[in-house]
Structure 1
Amino acid sequence: MKIINVVGARPNFMKMAPIIEAMRSYPDHFQHLLVHTGQHYDEKMSESFFVDLGMPTPDINLGVGSGSHAEQTARIMVEFEKICLREKPQLVIVVGDVNSTMACTITAKKLGIKVAHVEAGLRSRDMSMPEEINRLCTDVLCDYLFTTDHFADENLAAEGVPADKIFFVGNVMIDTLLKHRAMAATLDLGRQLGLAPQGYATLTMHRPGNVDDKNVLTGILEALAEIAREIPIVFPIHPRTRKMAGQFGLDGFFSTGPKVQGLWITAPLGYLEFLHLNMNARFVLTDSGGLQEETTVLGIPCITMRPNTERPITCEVGSNTLVGNSKEKILEQAHRILNGEIPRGLVPEKWDGHAAERIIQVLLEKPC
């Protein structure tokens, strides 16, 4: 079976790495190419992941770069169509919910190529999120829908997807986390930064709903600054957040070290570096989807600064809590954690490090 594996943005790399590794165990069954669309092209946001995760250098890099959603999606489709016509794959595998995921799915299906979606069925019910649109468009077209939990299965069934297309395999991002956890634990980054285990929090924030409105961003930063007076917050700042904070004149909330009042900003970190910090943090604040999953497995309390999540399993069994972008709710949940009121939570079914192996078994048993 000739397969094109597609990656485009930071979270895709953690999800694709274990799939490629599992394919390598069956060289007589799979011929696979890795296509990097170049949707994220900053070294810390993409290229370092190939080193950290032991992934092969991409066979093809489309180099599409940034732009509006329409521009980026169009460029990916134009360039990916050329690859599909030249390589003639039997299957395209896409992961996650970024523009590359949707664009490559549509392109492949219009050429009569089957598509598998890893992490299918996730729904936030929030159509203001570009990712939600990408998920819906991708899932309705795909031939194999690999899901992470029972919520995803139920969402797809409710949307009329035939049961024989849905495969509950677990979470490939957790495959990567469990494989690299011991390696991340050996890093000396925490000590170099002067951070004691459980003596700091980490933060990620980049979603438009949080950073594109001055009043909203100001309220969040005020809450975080208040928390930072009690416990250092390490913030590997996203380029979008840095840009918007600068435009709004909010740079005064940021510091360059833990001894200065405010959020301690760093450049974006590599996968292993950030895993090292998160696994030793007291808690994590985020508006990311993937971190909700990682903290659930690590047993680290997570404060999700969103009104909804496409990963409700992390709230059902884990220690993830949705607080929206309310200053008061962010502070309330942080104080609950600091007071020891948050239980550890459980790990969801099949988040055991073997999701990629299950995906490969489905492809072996039900080939294109």
Structure 2
Amino acid sequence: MDKEDSYKVCAFCNVDLVGQSRSQEHVIPNSIGGRLKTAEFICARCNNTKGDSWDSELAQQLNWFSLSLGITRERGLPPGQLVNTVDGRQYTLLPDGSFSPKSSYSEELVDGKKRIHIVAASVREAKKRLSGVAKKHPTFNLEQALSELEIQTAYLDSPLTVELSLGGKASGRSLVKTALAFASYCRVPHREFGKALDYLLDAQAEPPYGHAYLSDLVINRDSKTIFHCVALKSDSDKNRLWSYIEYFGMFRVLVLINDNYVGPVIDETYAINPITGEEIEVEVNSNIADEEFIKVISGYGIDPVVQRAAADLALPILIERSEQRTLEGAVRAGFAYAAKTLGIAEGEEIPIERAKEFTALMMEKITPYLSHLIRSNRQHL
């Protein structure tokens, strides 16, 4: 068999797509919230040996967005990520949007006594470190230290430093693979995959894509919604088959699939809200100027003004979402603290006579966050 037998064989290696060779390939990687799948693109072996590593690199580059927004995935949560603040402190950004401090241990002599300072990322780690202190210092009162152990909640008072990038050999191939996976989903024969497939199979091939920041190709963009989308378009006049891919509203790419396309007219778009997992309606401009298209594919597709506009649209949504998740976390923590303090079991109604006390206990946990918001807003006035 060869590439003429689309839908029956792997686009990469031509093995029959039957039985265990058949692979449910996500069009947009599930690692960043994709849902749509196709089983008629590549085999399980090629997916495992090539596709997974490409998608893994792309997910790593976009992980800060995934963590900050709290995307939903079919399998597991995004991994935590080390981040730094402007004043040099290091934290781990967790999937729930919270920050865990970098663990540390230090000893110093103060007035002839040894003072030990421990910062632990979790209660479990704190207990382990305290047990280690007890072994090292036999006079250390481990039982008392464990009884006094408590979790402290604080909020960042210094901005994060974040480097944002999308590209490179692996993640670039993930982008092109997404374009072809969607083409396969739209029933485009593998023989029409042209330069894009050559790029995935040949490590020395020139990339058939470029960053698309010369104009905003999304016609009906909602300024309050971040989305992923992949569009597939054909241009009969230019015999061109191409794809537009956008991740998190900010990373925008054009992929030239085939510049000798002879198939039917295609105009398809798939878009998803990565936070909710719901499909949304997105319309991508099919009438991109030829001069703009060539510039993008040639690597000259970045207008700083347009790129800044993309960031100015996406980042406020991300910040608002992050603040919302932090508030929700503070409320959950406050509720759990109040319930535990008053001995109210999960699912049990709060007695009316204790409602005032319950609210006061909740506010003990929520107030630090509200104070943090007030301080932050004053700094920006």
Band of TM-score, shorter chain: under 0.3
What's the TM-score, normalizing by structure 2? 0.25
TM-score by length of 1: 0.26
